[in-house]
Amino acid sequence: MMTFDHTFTYQDFSCEVALLEGAEKTEFEENSDYTLCYVRKEKQFMARFYARNREHEAEKISDYVVVNPSYGYLSANIKTAEISHYTTEGVLERQYEKGGGLISGFLDERVFTSKEMVQAAIYFLIDTLGDVGYYYNISMVKTVNFVEHNGE
C-alpha cells in the first residue's frame, strides 16, 4: 500500500489529505466456447482529510493522550471491464471497455459546512485520481458522542 500526501483547499480553509492506494485486483475469464475474454480490474483508494498540526508525534505520546479525530474519509473504487473476442484466426481483439468509479465516505459537517465544499472535496479526489466517470454518495456526520481510551 502506498501513501501520497496532498493539500485540499476550499476558499479560506485548507487541510492535509493522506491518499492511500490499495493493490489492484485483476480477474481473467473466458466464456465456455472461448469466443469472448473478460478482464476485470479493480483499484481502491482511501483519502483521509486531517490537520497535520493536530497529529501526535511519536515521542510525545505518553500516559494521557487525547486523540483528535480526522475531518473525514472518502473511499474511491475504480472498476473496469475489458471485453475482447477471438477472431477466426484465433487473435484476441478488444471489443469494448466499460467501467467507472464509485466514491463513498463520510465528512464532518462542522468542517465541511456546505454542499459546495463537499463537492470540492469530491472533485479534488477525482482530479487527483483521474476522471473515469464517478458516482458518489457522501454522508455528512455530526459527532454526538464518542468512545475513548486515553491512558488514564
pLDDT tens, 14-69?
999 999 999 888 888 877 666 778 888 899 999 999 998 888 777 777 766 677 78
- From CA 65, how far away is CA 81, in angstroms rounded? 47
Strand (E) positions, 13-91?
A: 13-21, 25-30, 36-50, 72-86
pLDDT tens, 98-139?
789 999 999 999 999 999 999 999 999 999 999 889 999 999
Range of the domain at 27: 2-54+66-141
Q: What pLDDT does 141 receive?
A: 95
Q: Tell me, yes or no, whether 134 lies in a domain.
A: yes
Q: Tell me, yes or no, whether 37 lies in a domain.
A: yes
The structure's pTM equals 0.80
Q: Tell me, yes or no, whether 149 lies in a domain.
A: no
118: left (phi over 0), alpha (psi -120 to 50) or beta: alpha
Whole-angstrom CA distances from 49 to 94, 103, 128 are 39, 15, 14
For the chain, the residue count is 152
Q: Tell me, yes or no, whether 152 lies in a domain.
A: no
Q: Tell me, yes or no, whether 130 lies in a domain.
A: yes
Number of domains in the chain: 1
Is 1's pLDDT higher than 70?
no
Which residue's C-alpha cell is 500516559?
63
Q: Tell me, yes or no, whether 121 lies in a domain.
A: yes
pLDDT tens, 55-109?
877 777 776 667 778 999 999 999 988 888 777 777 777 776 778 999 999 999 9
Q: What pLDDT does 20 receive?
A: 92
User: Is 62 in a helix, a strand, or coil?
Assistant: coil
- From CA 114, how far away is CA 136, in angstroms rounded? 16
Nearest-CA neighbor of 66 among 51, 55, 80?
55
